[in-house]
Structure 1
Amino acid sequence: MNQRVAIIGAGPSGLSQLHAFEKARLNGIDIPEIVCFEKQKNWGGLWNYTWRTGLDEHGEPVHGSMYRYLWSNGPKECLEFADYTFSDHFQKNIPSFPPRPVLYDYITGRAKSENLDRYIQFETVARRVEYDQDSDQFQVVVEDLKTQQEQCQTFDYVIVATGHFSIPNVPHLEGLESFSGRVMHSHDFRDAEEFRDRNTVVIGSSYSAEDIALQMYKYGARSVTIGYRSSPMGFNWPEGIKEVPLPMKLQGKSAQFADGTDQDDLDAIILCTGYLHSFPFLEDSLRLKTHNCLYPDGLYKGIFWQDNPKLMYLGMQDQYYTFTMFDAQAWYARDVILGNIALPEASVRLEDMTTWKTREEALSNPFEDIDFQTDYIKDLCAATDYEDFDLDAAANAFKTWEHHKVENILTYRDQAFVSPCNGEKAPVHHTPWLNALDDSMAAFLATEKELVVKAG
């Protein structure tokens, strides 16, 4: 009987997995029956922007954490598909830091070119996944959100590709209940225009706090105060943005911070405090429980559930690389399912995981983090036929990007990088990021001459 594979989620990770199987099929290889379940109406995961927050039209928690004016905060060259470059998709070389609509078009463009939607059941949410030891198969219960009907299907493999940036981590801050302004998590942040002429506090010290603070500065917030728990990000912030320790006291619209700084007339507090790995549809024996790290416990090669390797997770790591890493993981997972790679016994898997975890624990700075994840992807690619590309060049681009951010946090997106896939250097964008208030795909892809003609 033909084997069956369930893929839960049709975001970038799930689409990478579908693409990996489709590439094998197009090369004449018999593949299992593939069924992908996607809760949203469309593919793209977090990149599938929605104005909704809280619950969707079906009463399900909104998956998306994407905000309207988001631009890539890393060079596109470091997340490029080796077998489908940005130049392949757009038929021209484009700047290194695209806005959200451009990245969404790129991610879904490869999927559209292969008609991968034929594998996907949209508006279908996974409710329960259980493993039956006697049959060595998984029972997967899903609900069609349109009809509210549940069905149970049997699969030989389950691949969890739901991501881990959709369930907000919401810590308690002393006095938050007495704050009379707006309180929200970055998961619900949608439009920086809302905070024009407002005094805001951003809580956090990582990428979300950094970018949302810059978003509000760009779109006219009166002030942005970033509160950190352990250490500041330390960038050379422009006037109007400052970093201080966490607030010790909140009252009305005022905050007093641990360093003695006072801030009055506050309008909003935005909690950029990260996300939780959450898989309520998995039985406890299958559920990954981890914090955000570069090598989660219990996943051999960062993919295979140690206690049952027929269950796989994609994209569960803290991420420098994104789409690039998802492809590498998807190829490896596919080749294990197809029998091209034989997994070693449990003790050997544990030894390998321990080696990676020991190295991770010794990491002390972003450059070492980048090298760690680069080596991880190299390890995966070495075992598969994933298309060759210059991963060392991508790593060096990441390190240069880190330097650019330190030099000027407002202009790092105005730089240009070389593709590790085709060697092309990106053009410089026609408008500095700080002045590019139209983030539509048409505006981003237009040439300077086309913009002048349109303006005239």
Structure 2
Amino acid sequence: MAKSLLEEGHRPEVFDRQPDLGGVWLLRSESKQAGAYKKVRFQTSKYTSVFSDFSGPSGGGHFYGVSDMHRYLSAYAEHFNLSPHIRYRTEVTKIVACADRWKVTVARDGEIRTDIYDGVALCQGLFWKPWQPDFAGLSSFQGQVMHSGSYFDEECLRGKRVLVVGNGISGMDIAEDATKSASKVYWAMRRPKLIMPRMAGFVPNDFQSPASLLADGDPAQMLERIRHSMPDYYRQYRKSGLLPNLDEFREQPVVQINDGIVQMVANGQVEAIIDEIDEFQPQGCRFKHSQRNLDVDIVIFCTGYANGEYLDSLPGVSMQDDFAMGIFHRDNPSLVSTSCPLGIAYSGTFFFPEMVARWYARVMSGSYRLQDNELNYHLDRRHGAVMGPIASLVFGLKLGLLPDPKREFKAFWQLLNLPSFPQIYRLRGEHSDPDAANRLEELRKLSLTNGKQTAALEVVKHRILAGFDDVVLRDLLRRGEIEERDYQGAGRYATRAIVFDWQSQYIMRGDAAARSETTPAYGAPHNHVDDEDYYRKLLGQLKTGELDNQGLLKALAI
């Protein structure tokens, strides 16, 4: 955010209650309640999980760990001289409207300070308030109870019988980590999810283009592709008992990333229990369906984080109701939130806040004026998740960072068929980077992109063209931007056109799911990336055809 504001000539002042850069990626072992644990690595590669204007130090593996991310952020701050603008160990305690500006109160070392600012950007992130289910009998359990937010490394588990609850990212990581020191590791989940390693053959699993995400997919084909392309992994997966069947995968079309847990379950190092916890007892717990009693010494809840509707520092302002698109304050857009309130699927988790920052900086400069349809767009229970690569496209088109497909369709289509490399969004437009094209070509070679167009991709192409009126199509044809078969193909998909409006980036729930109010068991609460509840709601849409982008089911990462 600070860098984007500086680009537009503003004078940002950053307040951070922590002692150093990093946010949740600032590793610490003392008094830890949230944030990264020692083992954490990105689920997406460093090629898609960086800022668009800085690739970072060379070397290292494909996927950043905690120290890698801290090194990257420090290098970024140094490269763009951001440190003089950051006030560490300073907590924002109150933000209130003051005419069309904002009165901000901060505290540092017992001193209170209040100033007036033209704008306020909320960049605190989402993963700070651990959420833990309240099971019957939990207070009677005589062992240790902790949340993954408090977990640092396996030393606290040495010699103990450990129960890890939840099969999101942290659940898989900690169950795997626990085998290094625990006497026994149990891993409880309500139902299996599809688990894939970080590498798909010779390339990272997030090297998937937005165009391929938009293609219609069949979950059965995806499972068959895994069986044929990764036979050793598939055999281990079958042996583990964790491989979801087709119906289970259709019910939960989500893919989790982990390199070792499947093999550890297959080899007996981790015992997976696919069941629901019924209640806790003094020595352990009992499971609902099997009625199995399990004695353990420590329970680790890997159940996500709660995202409240209100911030303590922002009284009377609803993060749910008062922010258009979940981003800009509806009445005064000089207040912005960079934290996407929904889970971000595929790549884009790191890149999303940068696109919001670039947008906000232009709004504050007056070079972008928010329209009524943008300020009136409201996120509600129908919005399930954000497809990161599609969101980036929507941002890029909105801010003029991509070729206009109605004028330069060839260039637009070429970029749409590359993985979601952030450098794409520095090729043109304001604050473009002259080195972006060279860096992008290096990444294209690394991705092994061959440029071949499958039948499924041709359908995507024609569905995009179907969203243009005939005058635009004829002009594209006349100038050689499309071929005659593309013009004819667009006509066949008039009722299934792909239009990159604001809603196109969302995985939408059906009306029934939007109306339902369910209580999470041991998954994350609503509006969190580890939340399982809304994935189950997609089943009805998959059956009725209400889900716009069924290419979701083809992904190998989330």
* Superposition deviation, residue 41 in structure 1: 0.9
Q: Which deviations, in whole Å up to 9, do the C-alpha atoms of 1:231-271 show, x marking residues without a partner?
A: 33355432223032232132222321112253544121111
Decide which of 320, 327, 335 is 1:303's aligned counterpart.
327
2:118 maps to 1:156: yes
Equivalent of residue 249 in structure 1, options 268, 275, 279: 279
2:139 equivalent to 1:177? yes
1: CA distance between counterparts of 2:49 and 2:58? Answer: 18
Asked whether the equivalents of residues 69 and 192 of structure 1 are also in contact (C-alpha less than 8 Å), the reply is no
The alpha-carbon deviation at position 96 of structure 1 amounts to 1.5
Contact 2:418 2:444 in 1 (8 A): no
The residue that corresponds to 1:20 in the other structure is 4
Distance 1:207 1:137 in 2: 40
3-state secondary structure, aligned to 2:446: coil
- Relative distance call for 1:68 and 1:420 in structure 2 (3 A) is farther
- Among 92, 95, 109, the residue aligned to 1:126: 92
CA separation of 1:102 and 1:79: change in aligned 2, threshold 3 A? same
Q: How does 1:129-208 map to 2 (within 5 A)?
A: 129-132=95-98, 135-144=99-108, 146=109, 148-208=110-170
In 2, Cα distance between the equivalents of 1:66 and 1:273? Answer: 14
How far apart are residue 390 of structure 1 and its match?
A: 5.1
Distance 1:40 1:261, change over 3 A: same
| Counterpart residue number, 1:411 | none
Residues 1:334 and 1:277: Cα distance change in structure 2 (over 3 Å): same
Deviation at 1:301, TM superposition (A): 4.1
Q: How is 1:343-358 mapped onto 2 (pairs within 5 angstroms)?
A: 343-345=370-372, 348-349=373-374, 352-353=377-378
Instruction: Tell me by how many angstroms 1:336 deviates.
Output: 0.9
| Structure possessing the higher radius of gyration over alpha carbons | 2
C-alpha contact 2:319 2:326 (8 A) present in aligned 1: no
- Any idea what SS the aligned residue of 1:201 has? strand
Task: State whether structure 2 residue 187 is matched by structure 1 residue 226.
Answer: yes
Structure-2 change in CA distance of 1:109 and 1:156 (3 Å) = same
Does 1:273 find its partner at 2:294?
no
Q: 1:102 to 1:285 in 2, by over 3 A?
A: same
Q: 1:228, 1:244 within 8 Å by CA — same for their partners in 2? A: yes
- Shift of residue 311 of structure 1? 1.1
Deviations 1:113-141 (A, max 9, x none): 12201111111100111112xx2111111
Between stretches 96-105 and 178-187, larger displacement belongs to: 96-105
The answer on whether the counterparts of 1:228 and 1:243 sit within 8 Å (CA) in structure 2 is yes
Runs of at least 5 residues in structure 2 that lack an aligned partner in the other structure: 196-236, 238-261, 404-413, 422-438, 449-558
Aligned pairs (5 A) from 1:50-89: 50-53=28-31, 64-85=34-55, 89=56
Q: Secondary structure of the residue that 1:285 maps to in structure 2?
A: coil
Does the CA-based 8 Å contact 1:185-1:270 persist in structure 2?
A: yes
Q: Deviation of residue 282 (structure 1)?
A: 3.3
Task: Report Cα offsets for 1:140-173 as digits up to 9, x if no partner.
Answer: 11001x2x01011101211100011011112211
Question: Aligned partners of 2:161 and 2:146: how far apart in 1?
Answer: 14
The yes-or-no answer on 1:34 pairing with 2:51 is: no
- TM-score of the two chains, using structure 1 as the length reference: 0.69
- Using the alignment, how far apart are the partners of 2:440 and 2:171 within structure 1? 28
Alpha-carbon distance in 1 for matches of 2:442, 2:335: 31
Shift of 1:18: 1.0
- How far apart, CA to CA, are the structure 2 residues paired with 1:233 and 1:163? 26
* C-alpha contact (below 8 Å) 2:324/2:376 kept by paired residues: no
Q: For each residue in 1:54-78, what CA deviation from the matched residue of structure 2 results, as whole angstroms up to 9, or x when unmatched?
A: 5xxxxxxx5x421112222332223
Report the CA distance between 1:95 and its aligned residue: 2.4
Query: Over aligned residues, Cα RMSD in angstroms?
Result: 3.0
Give the 3 Å change call, closer, same or farther, for CA 213–128 of structure 1 in structure 2.
same
Change (3 A) 1:91 1:68: closer
- In 1: Cα distance, 2:355 partner to 2:132 partner: 32
Asked if 2 retains the 8 angstrom alpha-carbon contact of 1:126 and 1:281, the reply is no
- Contact in 2 for aligned 1:247/1:255 (Cα 8 Å): yes
- Per-residue deviation, residues 274-303 of structure 1 (Å, max 9, x unmatched): 1122453433332314xxxxxxx6533442
Aligned residues: 348
In 2, the alpha carbon distance for the partners of 1:426 and 1:198 equals 43
Cα-to-partner distance string for 1:148-203 (whole Å, 9 max, x where unaligned): 01011101211100011011112211111111111001110111232244321122
SS at match of 2:106: strand
Q: Quickly say closer, same or farther: Cα 1:167–1:193, change in 2 above 3 A.
A: same
Amino acid at match of 2:303: T
Tell me the equivalent position of 2:209. none
- SS in structure 2 opposite 1:286? coil
CA gap 1:242/1:261 in 2 versus in 1, 3 angstroms: farther
Cα shift at 1:380:
1.3
Mind listing any 5+ residue stretches in structure 1 that lack a counterpart?
Answer: 1-16, 55-61, 290-296, 362-368, 397-417, 428-456
2:446 to 383, 403, 425: 425
| Change in 2 beyond 3 A, CA 1:287/1:351 | closer
Q: TM-score, normalised by structure 2?
A: 0.57
Match of 1:282 among 298, 307, 313: 313
User: 233-242 or 116-125: which moved more?
Assistant: 233-242
